[in-house]
Every structure is written in structure tokens, then in C-alpha cells.
Structure 1
Amino acid sequence: MRAHRAYIRGAALGQLGDALLGDPRRGHPVAAFGRAAAAAERALWRDHRGAGALHTALTVAGAVTAVATLSRTARALAGTGGATLVDAAVTWTVLGGTGLRREALAVAAALEAGDVEGARRLLPHLCGRDPQALDADAIARAVVESVAENTSDAVVGALVWGAAAGAPGMAAFRAVNTLDAMFGHRSPRHLRFGWAAARLDDAAGWPGARLTAALAALAGPSPRGALRAWRTDARSHPSPNAGPVEASFAGALGVRLGGTLSYGGRTEHRPVLNSPGRAVRTDDIAAAVQLSRRVSALALLVTSVAGAFGRKRRAERGDG
């Protein structure tokens, strides 16, 4: 229980660090992991699922081992306080909620100023869509969808795995999420090689996505609309995790998400989420950001309580 209390304190400090400072500006550990993963991909690449699975296993294991070793060393040298500092540092570097919300609001500010071209230049910081063909409303819709999905990926999912396995669990989740972003897309080079990263990311993101959707319904202005959209529309989305999150945000905010979009010159026609809602407007970005902030705060509370309860039950059973 002492170890979990240290993790709770560290997670809270790390989330405070993210709120006050945003992402580290230099030497970001996630960027360093990405460079290492890219180097490993060049060495291990074969047009085969097995090669991709080996790459995924080795890189995720490396990230987990590094964080676990750092945590053990800090505890040995400085006791619980040292472990708390490591947990805080890992949480700060893994979470990306503040950076996400800042980028979203920057796009909103450009749109409110009538600078659609400026908003197009900023959009790639949030998502991989082709911005040049998008008008102001389509940009706003892309931002709201990105805020919804990344609230799960950049905040809630990491907190869920932190509650389950401490700082190493958070590191594992961020490593898997990064590998999926780098190699999980369906390009010719990574169609087979990236399969393992994409499927592992689906599995790792499953609990965080459902918790995000539930908290969006709880914290949003229309809980009934969020639950209805989640229940009726989420399964039609091609992503098993983005579907519940985006549908719940859409219903909570009373807007329509989904529809036609373009990635890398490839057009996709996605199902509409929350069809009774209205089209997204620029001012909906601020509403989505506010909902993301509330969901993130509730997620820290829920995962801390759930993690403490789980540790207590295991201790009572004599499992550690």
C-alpha cells in the first residue's frame, strides 16, 4: 500500500507538472523512445508480421525495463520519496493533455480571427489529416475529434495503466501508443510489420477508451446524449477505441462528428457519430477542451481509488 500511495502522489504531481508546464521542451523521453524505435525498425524490418511482433516486444520491454530500473534505484537510494519523484517525472512526460489542449485552442484562435490558412498550418500538430482541402467548419470538426481521441490516448489510458502497474505500466502504454502512431498505419512498408503494434495498441487502449467515454458522459453537458451516441454509433467507427470516445464526446457536446476525411491523399468515408447533433462550429473547440480537462481530472481520481482498492485486495489475499 505504501508503494501505491507513493504512486498516487507521484501521479498527482506529474499531472500538475503537465498542467503547469506542458510537455518537456527538450530531451522529451517519448521522442527519444521514438528515435530508438525507428533505429530498431531499420535493423529488424522484414515484410512479415513476426518481424514486427519482435520489434514491438523488444522496444516495449526496453521502455518498461528502463523505467522499472530507475524506480528501483530511486527507491533504494532515497526511499519512498525517490520513488514518488520518479513516478511524478514519468507521469509528466507520458501525459500530453496540456499540450493537446493548447494546440486545439491555438487552432480555435486562428479560426476565430478568420485565419483559415493559419489554422491549416497548425492542424498537423494535432492530427494527420490533409488540411488544405478543409474549410473552417471541417477544421473545427477535426480538432474536436482529435481532442476526444487524444484525451483517451494521451491522458486517461496512461492513468489506467499507471493504476494497474505503476510507472512501468504508464511507460508501456505510451510505448505501445507511440509504436502504433509510427508503424501501425496501413502503408505498404508497415502493412504487415506494423500489425502487432496496431493490435497491441487496440488491446492496451480498450479500458482507457471506455473509461474516457463514461467520464465524458458523466462530466459533459448532455449525459443522456453521450450515452445514446455511444450506444448507437460507436460500433460503426473503424477504430474499436476511438469510436466510443468520439461518439460520447459528440453526444455530450450535441454535435455531429465523423464523415468524409482525407489522410495522406487517401479519402475515407466514416460513419456519422451522433446524427441528431448539429455541425461543429469553432466555439465547440473550447467546449471540447473544457470537457477534456474535466475528464482528465476525474480520471486521476477514479484510477487512484481503483488502484488503491486493487492493491488492498491483493494484500488481503497475500498476493503482495
Structure 2
Amino acid sequence: MPALSFAYALVAVAALWLALAIDRWLGEPTARLHPVVWMGQYLGWIGSHIAPEPRKVKRVDLPVFFIGALTWCLGGVAAWCVAQLLQSLVTLYLPAWAAAVLLGLLLKPLFAWRMLRDEVLAVEAALAVSLDAGRAQLARLVSRDVSALSEREVRESAIESLSENLNDSLVAPLFWFVLLGLPGAALYRFANTADAMWGYRGLRNGRDWTWLGKWAARADDVLSWLPARITVLLLASVAWQWPRDLGREARRTPSPNSGWPMAAMALLVGVRLAKPGVYTLNGEGRKAAAEDTWRTAVLGGRAVLATAVFASVAIVAMAGWP
């Protein structure tokens, strides 16, 4: 029914803006109430029991692969069903204003911009104190070994992290919220968390993740493919320019998705970004300076606002006018 559909659209748009306001002014909920933390606890428990130790690693380990796929699916279904139940209860049995408030509160933990921005700028603040302080702060953001990184490499890693996670932590979950509501955002957040915890080749933390995390890595690639490219469009729209040679630069990274927002940011800001021994983006760009970290954060913030505007228009357009 169009009227009901349009009424839900208004609730969803209001919930989206409320969630963004909560993120801006309050940040993340406490860990014991955070659904992404619960997802991580489930994935961590599975991984600690299933991922093989180095002495038990097999060249091809299909049983571990199928266990990883099955437990991913169980977790994904659980995230979807809980989110669907909560969304149904909120939108069917509450007045519109209350539904918007509660849906916004439920949506907020499924994306994070303020925390990402604050953590990246904290790296720059720490670098102003010492290189060791900058490395220690960066270690909170990335999984790679940071002990040998130079000041330039620490700064580049922070900018890369903000660029990549602009998609993973904000654009992609809101994209799936627009298409599938709260269950879509919850499923994406589960998939991205699983990739972050399991999606490694070889050893990490004393266990081999090659086969356990293969399904999780591919699922995240699929769900992030279109949002990663939308993130580029958003960055280009707020920068009022198109990053030249974007496709060539983006394909330099091993990931089918993360290279797009990272390459776009490197080209738009005009800096060189690199992961030693893996890739170099915008190799002719200048060495990143402290002000470039701030420029990246400002550009990302504008892209967040653009995401909210376009998402709101899309929700209303999909619903149709009453």
C-alpha cells in the first residue's frame, strides 16, 4: 500500500538522521550494549576453536572451509532475524515519532563515523608527540605490524584507514539500510566484522585463517562491491572534481574494493599512499603532511553528509509519494 510505504519511508529517513546525530554527539554505545561487539564475540569464539594452529595447517582444508561458511551463515541469519524482528516491532506497533526514535537508536551501532574520524586524527596528534606514540595509536586502527613504519608511512596508513573505512563503516551499512532496512545494515555489519576477524591468508595470532576465513572474505567482497564505488562518487561530488586515472590506481591494490576509496582520496587530496611491498597509489603525489590528514577528515565528513542526503532521497523515491 503506497501510503504505508511512504509512511515507513518518512520513519526511515528520520531514523537515519537521528542515528547520524547520535553518532556525532554521543559516539558509540558501551561495549556491553553494542551489537557489533556481540558479533565479534561470536566470531572470536568460533575462530579460537576452529582455525588451526600452525602445526595442523593443511594445504587444502575443505572441512574448515565448510565450517567457516556454515558458522558465517548461522551468524548472518541470526543478525538478520533479530534486526527484522526489532524493526517489525518498532514500525508496526509504535506511533511514527516513537518508531523513528527507536529505529534510529537501533541503526546507530551499525555504522561509525565519529569514532573512525577521532581515531585517525588521534594518530596525527600522537605523531606530533613522537613517532613511537604515532605507531602505538595507529596499531589501534590497523592489523599490520607498525613497529618499523616511518612517520610518513604511519600518516599514510591513517589516511588509508579513514578512506577504506569510510565505505566499510558508514557508506556500505547505510546503502544496505536503504535497500533492505535494518536487517540489511545488520547483515552487512556482520559480514564486514567477519572479514576483519577471519579474512586473512596465513598466520595471525597463532592460528592459520586461510580456509576458515575464505567464505567471509568473499562475502564481504560481494556486499562491499557497489558501496565502495558509490563512496568514490560521494567523495568526488563533495570535492567537485573527478579523480583522474582512478581505475588504474584502484586496481593496484589486492582487494577488489578497498582500492577505490583509497585511490580516490589519494588523487583528490594529491598525496601518495602506499603499503610497503604491496602497492603504491598516486605515486607522483606529494608526501602526506599533517594538514593532509585533516583535509582527509574534512572531505570524509562532507561525504558522510552527502551519503545521508542521497540515502534520504533514495528511500523516499523507492517508496513513492502517497
What is the TM-score of this pair, normalised by structure 2? 0.88
**Pair 1:22 & 2:45 matched:** no
Q: Is the 8 A contact 2:50 2:64 kept in 1?
A: no
1:257 paired residue among 273, 280, 283: 273
**Pair 1:145 & 2:160 matched:** yes
Structure 1 residues 62-71 or 40-49, which shifts more? 40-49
CA RMSD in angstroms, aligned pairs only: 1.9
2:77 paired residue among 53, 61, 68: 61
Change in 2 beyond 3 A, CA 1:250/1:288: same
Which residue is 2:248 aligned to?
A: 232
Structure 1 stretches lacking a partner, 5+ long:
261-268, 316-320
What does residue range 1-320 of structure 1 map to in structure 2 within 5 Å?
A: 1-27=6-32, 28-41=34-47, 47-113=63-129, 115-187=130-202, 189-220=208-239, 223-224=241-242, 226=243, 228-260=244-276, 269-312=277-320
2:285 & 2:119 partners in 1: Cα distance? 25
1:121 & 1:259 partners in 2: Cα distance? 18
Q: Is the 8 A contact 1:185 1:194 kept in 2?
A: yes
Q: Residue by residue, what CA displacement relative to the aligned partner does 1:210-266 show, whole Å, maximum 9, x if unpaired? A: 111111122227x24x2x141321122111111111110000000111241xxxxxx
What is the TM-score of this pair, normalised by structure 1? 0.89
Q: Is the 8 A contact 2:131 2:150 kept in 1?
A: yes
2:47 & 2:95 partners in 1: Cα distance? 38
Change in 2 beyond 3 A, CA 1:98/1:229: farther
Which residue is 2:55 aligned to?
A: none
2:252 & 2:149 partners in 1: Cα distance? 24
Which amino acid in the other structure matches residue 2 of structure 1?
A: A
Q: Is the 8 A contact 1:103 1:126 kept in 2?
A: yes
Which amino acid in the other structure matches residue 213 of structure 2?
A: G
Q: What is the aligned-residue identity percentage?
A: 29
Q: Is the 8 A contact 1:70 1:86 kept in 2?
A: no
**SS of 2:274's equivalent?**
strand
Which amino acid in the other structure matches residue 39 of structure 1?
A: W
1:43 & 1:62 partners in 2: Cα distance? 20
Q: Residue by residue, what CA displacement relative to the aligned partner does 1:162-213 show, whole Å, maximum 9, x if unpaired? A: 1001111111110100011111111353211211111010011112111111
Which amino acid in the other structure matches residue 215 of structure 2?
A: A
**SS of 2:202's equivalent?**
coil
How many pairs align?
302
1:232 & 1:26 partners in 2: Cα distance? 40
Q: Is the 8 A contact 2:50 2:212 kept in 1?
A: no
Q: Residue by residue, what CA displacement relative to the aligned partner does 1:125-179 show, whole Å, maximum 9, x if unpaired? A: 2111212101211110000000100001001111110100111111111010001
1:229 & 1:22 partners in 2: Cα distance? 36
Which residue is 1:266 aligned to?
A: none
1:15 to partner: Cα distance: 0.8
